[in-house]
Structure 1
């Protein structure tokens, strides 16, 4: 009896250790923790949704659209790898196994705060990985293949940012009221809506396109497209991403891609949609797609006589396209990104020897009012404006609406010029040379700000760990100009490393030629930011770089370290095999093969001895 109890106790102990052994062996099959040596910009991080590959049958039927979730962390896209090296917009992603490497090259394009496009050289390369970094780099997609749409693309739709907050709505690039002609592709016959009964508007929100389809070959209905982002394509084409209110789980796609072109003379729009949540399936051009729309502007209501016959125009230096403004002679089209109302503004009077204009405004919802517009010229490519706090339904004396008490002195809306005409140079950055400092609330992080000798309108910003010099963030700015106000220097810039149309303002105080304080001042150059109190101190390290053997753009090739003091990542994917050969100075060295084999051999010897002991004890107990 005692022998049986002893054997049962030994068997229980052996079973527990065997389970631990099997768990250990299972874990060994997964890639080990790897040190990331590059980091994704914050704008790239967050929780995304992507379309899952459909089955051939569902693809033919136009049904069965399914989605999966994807997270992008500061240094990893878990299904594809850890960020190893950045080359421009290309990212080398790597899984480092005990004996093998799995390497991919992806090109990332942020199209808006809600839309991230990922490109690979071919459709094969997204499901497979290369066995060495050199082969992966040789198969990186180029900017040319992205423009010509030869590279394979994957669309990611952000639903939460890197802080877990829901994404914000985006302004639609199409505004106004239109008559709609619609054509949809079905299995047996084409669905069409013709005539003048189908309409489109963007009331009450400029983030939504409202379609009312009538006089159709099917029962008419209403639908909404909620815009997520847009970007320019070739030949004056514009791509738009939106959610479709017709979405039905597993039947109709929730996310849609469209491409359109607007005739500059007639403002007529031709738009086509893809079949699913890509920009490729059954989408060929603006007139050929799974669904097509022809949008003809509706005749607008007449303007009041006192506006139509008023001899008034805005300053000529303002003419052109700005971030949220389009200015032509006596008319301004203003898209308010706070209220999502689109204002068509007519000049109704000028206050002499002043920067104020009496205006008449009409929104996309036909709301009308008189107000006063205050304009400030901050440079060739920068303007600021204010709208009065009080409005009127009737044209009143210009001095009433344009009184100083009708404006908040420090509340400006800053705008950068979109397309700089030839001969109108961009603004120079206010710094020359290289400046270094530390982030005030994170003193273990060092910063570097430097200018470009060949392109004085460019400056670069870098954040790295002070001890290891591992780079966490890199930014590229194009300076549109700067101006002084109350002994402070304001610089307005456009980010060149993220989505187009991302603008930032900085406020600084230059103490000496070698000492400056700088602080972000938001998108609209807030006047309440004190750089001396809350800003970052930067000291000049060296004068303007020598242009010899220097590129005008920064090389996103971060210096790597053997360990990261604060950031680690572990990922699990199917195994691959590789042997790394040439290791450059900025690469993560692979584990020496001899050491790996030795460790593996000794481990297997230990496991064999352990299994032999298990069999020996079981034999003694039960035989």
Structure 2
């Protein structure tokens, strides 16, 4: 519930809580006297007049507090500015390039250059407002912005780029997206029905329909505001060693004149024989291609850096790559970034891969077999298992661990997993069960064919969390001592994965509302509160210590599970806005103090050796969950508004213009290899009665001036048809 109005005490209480805000104090003392607010005959017109004046006087505060972009995507991104180039991945001297150029798009905390300021947000839909330079009404547009990888953002908007005078109008124009999603957690009782099988023609017809009315904008990372490496190393979606054939040319068929098509052209078999080779070896983040027996001449090599993979429009598997052969000089106008779709045949393992003609994911690209450039990949067979493995009695992993996890597939005798540190994919075959239910001697083979014997340690931390670790001393021959305790060193190499479908209810480690001042960032405070009506969700907000309404960023988390090691509590969470997992470690001292710190900056790793009581943030409990009614407005009704302790009070600080925020800057002393907190990324979701999260005028006003909240409350009581611009 957003707020309640029983009598004048609510308005008076909210006003007293925000006396630290000069503008709130000013409006509290200057607007219409309080006794007239509750008068039953007060006209709606009069209230609207007062509220309109307040909104006009406070445009900056409302827009600044309503939403921000995730800190992970703040920086400079490249967007294709000119389409129509005949780009090609395969080397050829006869290629005619019409020219692809890129424009730079800067994403700031609450603004995207050329698109406008962030005025409202719900999930992945953003309302951006661009103010008129001549004093006219603002231009509101709706964008569906999805972070599909650390290097790629997909933005979808209305194709005509129309402007709307209000957020409500812009909301109604929000673009339709087709199955454009990442992995989201579902519980067994909430599992959706399997999508009915659709033919290739049905999927293509649906994609063409959507492309006629929506525009998909691909953004490729150039530079991060945090000063991190511009391109993050991510594992290629296609992993292994393959031979391939290659074709280039227009899409043939009745659909060849669809959106982005250039008319019917014949296919050109450039490399018709399966003698060319492709692999992501030895480094998992790059594809190395060797073209052989091709029509254009001598064998040639090509290197593509993988930028990410995701499930996208039409349910297809998409991937983006960076062509390292394209020079930065003005004379090279070939597409630097490429987008493709791929599909693996279940029975044969053959992979079909197609790329678009430019840096978009739409131009002459409809399916893994219908694209401007087409590859057919055949996996190079792995050698048979050693006799020492195949001749031994059957070994099985525990039945309770079998199934799909985030980066692990566990069968009765085979474990397939990704090494998040080294970007390698392993297949481990069970050779011998040591007998304790956790340690197993396995034969491992990487996606590049490297193999050895090792010990695999499996540890079930909770119903939804599994950790695994390989021994530090692999051997080329089978050795019964591989699982000895001394083979695991300091036990600091755990890999953490979560169930793909969560089992049973989960709960966040901290229930209630907590506040603390950030280490090495005086004046900045963090609030952590669990959603009491939904104990598996929590929100983390960074604000000024002196003014909790001045929120810089916010993250929402889904708690996957927790476990205890010694005096430390580890918790694994999932962030819906960036589709990543984050691990935290906390400790509670004998004096009742609570400290918390991030336990790993690499997705899927809960680092050990972290000492939150020294390097972490101390939290002070403001309220217990039984007395908290959670709201997504910092300092609002749902988050307890207990005054900060004197040690947490300080002056107001403006947000830093460049680099990481102060609460993200590296600490002077490091006792672990983990980084400090990244910025909070999820924007506040304004909730109204009867909606599951939306943006309303009421919530925006209440977050700025408590008096305005009271005015709008009375208006809501008088007018049941109150307009709410909620995004659903």
Q: TM-score, normalised by structure 1?
A: 0.76
Q: Is the 8 A contact 2:404 2:499 kept in 1?
A: yes
**Which of 588, 612, 615 pairs up with 1:534?**
615
For 1:110 and 1:262, the matched residues in 2 are separated by 24
Tell me if 1:586 matches 2:665: no
Residue aligning to 2:232: 168
Q: Is the 8 A contact 1:426 1:479 kept in 2?
A: no
Instruction: Quote the offset at 1:313 in angstroms.
Output: 2.4
Q: 1:500-511 residue pairs with structure 2 within 5 A?
A: 500=579, 502-510=580-588
Tell me if 1:91 matches 2:126: yes
Instruction: Quote the offset at 1:62 in angstroms.
Output: 5.8
Tell me if 1:80 matches 2:163: no
Tell me if 1:566 matches 2:645: no
For 1:279 and 1:262, the matched residues in 2 are separated by 19
> 1:206-231 CA deviation, whole Å, 9 max, x = no partner?
11222233333443533232110111
Q: 1:38-53 residue pairs with structure 2 within 5 A?
A: 38-53=67-82
Instruction: Quote the offset at 1:277 in angstroms.
Output: 0.5
Secondary structure of 1:194's counterpart equals strand
Residue aligning to 2:27: none
Secondary structure of 2:155's counterpart equals strand
Q: Is the 8 A contact 1:92 1:104 kept in 2?
A: yes
**Which of 459, 468, 475 pairs up with 1:392?**
475
Instruction: Quote the offset at 1:57 in angstroms.
Output: 10
> 1:237-291 CA deviation, whole Å, 9 max, x = no partner?
3111111245365442111111112233332222221111111111112221111
Instruction: Quote the offset at 1:138 in angstroms.
Output: 3.2
**Which of 465, 469, 479 pairs up with 2:559?**
479
**Which of 338, 343, 359 pairs up with 2:421?**
338
Q: Is the 8 A contact 1:347 1:358 kept in 2?
A: yes
Q: Is the 8 A contact 1:410 1:526 kept in 2?
A: no
Residue aligning to 1:105: 142
Q: 1:211-360 residue pairs with structure 2 within 5 A?
A: 211-219=289-297, 220-233=299-312, 237-245=316-324, 247=326, 250-310=332-392, 311-353=394-436, 355-360=438-443
Q: Is the 8 A contact 1:465 1:471 kept in 2?
A: yes
Q: Is the 8 A contact 1:322 1:415 kept in 2?
A: no
Q: 1:443-462 residue pairs with structure 2 within 5 A?
A: 443-462=522-541
Q: Is the 8 A contact 2:452 2:477 kept in 1?
A: yes
For 1:114 and 1:529, the matched residues in 2 are separated by 28
Aligned residues between the structures: 531
> 1:476-526 CA deviation, whole Å, 9 max, x = no partner?
21222111111211111111121x2x1111111245998632211114222
**Which of 467, 480, 488 pairs up with 2:568?**
488
For 1:459 and 1:467, the matched residues in 2 are separated by 23
Residue aligning to 2:244: 180
For residues 306 and 76 of structure 1, do their structure 2 counterparts lie closer, same or farther at Cα, with a shift above 3 Å needed? same
> 1:315-345 CA deviation, whole Å, 9 max, x = no partner?
2233233343332222222322332333222
Residue aligning to 2:175: 141
For residues 268 and 427 of structure 1, do their structure 2 counterparts lie closer, same or farther at Cα, with a shift above 3 Å needed? farther
For residues 188 and 286 of structure 1, do their structure 2 counterparts lie closer, same or farther at Cα, with a shift above 3 Å needed? closer
Q: Is the 8 A contact 2:633 2:699 kept in 1?
A: no
Q: Is the 8 A contact 1:85 1:558 kept in 2?
A: no
Q: Is the 8 A contact 1:87 1:556 kept in 2?
A: no
Instruction: Quote the offset at 1:406 in angstroms.
Output: 1.7
Residue aligning to 1:402: 483
Q: Is the 8 A contact 1:88 1:555 kept in 2?
A: no
Secondary structure of 2:609's counterpart equals coil
Secondary structure of 2:700's counterpart equals coil
Tell me if 1:65 matches 2:100: yes
Q: Is the 8 A contact 1:471 1:558 kept in 2?
A: no
For 1:228 and 1:431, the matched residues in 2 are separated by 36
Q: Is the 8 A contact 2:541 2:634 kept in 1?
A: no
Instruction: Quote the offset at 1:389 in angstroms.
Output: 1.7
For 1:292 and 1:261, the matched residues in 2 are separated by 12
For 1:320 and 1:327, the matched residues in 2 are separated by 5
Q: Is the 8 A contact 2:180 2:313 kept in 1?
A: no
> 1:83-118 CA deviation, whole Å, 9 max, x = no partner?
333333222333444723333332221111111111
For 1:85 and 1:517, the matched residues in 2 are separated by 33
Residue aligning to 2:159: 123
For 1:133 and 1:236, the matched residues in 2 are separated by 30
For residues 431 and 218 of structure 1, do their structure 2 counterparts lie closer, same or farther at Cα, with a shift above 3 Å needed? same
Q: Is the 8 A contact 2:178 2:315 kept in 1?
A: no
Q: Is the 8 A contact 1:383 1:415 kept in 2?
A: yes
Instruction: Quote the offset at 1:545 in angstroms.
Output: 6.6
Give structure 2 stretches of 5+ with no counterpart: 1-58, 89-94, 182-205, 251-264, 638-651, 659-695, 705-728
Q: Is the 8 A contact 1:557 1:586 kept in 2?
A: no
Q: TM-score, normalised by structure 2?
A: 0.66
For 1:213 and 1:132, the matched residues in 2 are separated by 54
Indicate the larger mover: 133-142 or 144-153. Answer: 144-153
Instruction: Quote the offset at 1:352 in angstroms.
Output: 2.5
Q: Is the 8 A contact 2:179 2:315 kept in 1?
A: no
Instruction: Quote the offset at 1:434 in angstroms.
Output: 2.6
For residues 216 and 439 of structure 1, do their structure 2 counterparts lie closer, same or farther at Cα, with a shift above 3 Å needed? same
Instruction: Quote the offset at 1:584 in angstroms.
Output: 5.4
Q: 1:465-476 residue pairs with structure 2 within 5 A?
A: 465-468=544-547, 469-476=549-556
Structure richer in strand, relative to its length: 1
- Hey, which bits of structure 1, 4+ residues long, moved more than 6 A? 55-61, 545-548, 555-559
For 1:442 and 1:556, the matched residues in 2 are separated by 19
Q: Is the 8 A contact 1:453 1:547 kept in 2?
A: yes
Q: Is the 8 A contact 1:86 1:558 kept in 2?
A: no
> 1:188-213 CA deviation, whole Å, 9 max, x = no partner?
75134334312322211111222233
Give structure 1 stretches of 5+ with no counterpart: 1-32, 571-581, 590-623
For 2:353 and 2:85, the matched residues in 1 are separated by 27
For 2:76 and 2:371, the matched residues in 1 are separated by 30
Residue aligning to 1:158: 221
* Structure exhibiting the larger radius of gyration computed from Cα positions: 1
Instruction: Quote the offset at 1:568 in angstroms.
Output: 8.9
Q: Is the 8 A contact 1:181 1:195 kept in 2?
A: yes
Residue aligning to 2:520: 441
